[in-house]
Amino acid sequence: MGARPLQRLIRFELEDQLAGLLLFGALEKGGKVVADAESEDAEHLTLTPAGE
């Protein structure tokens, strides 16, 4: 995976989901998040607050 596709993945998969968790109160400052992919070559990640 090149730098630009990786940058897009980080922006869309991580930043957007993290922003949603923060905005809707599912994650607080200093909270931890678990990132999960359905398979090794999955293009989508699922973020959930740690401990849920």
DSSP 8-33: HHIIIIIIHHHHHHHHTTSS-TT--E
Q: Tell me, what's the pLDDT at 51?
A: 76
Give the integer Cα–Cα distance in Å for 22 and 49: 10
Residue 12 CA from chain centroid, whole number: 8
Q: What is the pLDDT of residues 1-46, one digit of tens each?
A: 688 887 887 788 788 888 888 899 888 878 888 888 777 766 777 8
Sign of CA dihedral 13, 15, 18, 19: negative
Our count of domains for the chain comes to 1
- SS3 (DSSP) at 3: helix
Look up the domain containing 8 and give its range.
Answer: 3-49
pTM over 0.75, yes/no: no
Residue type, 1: M
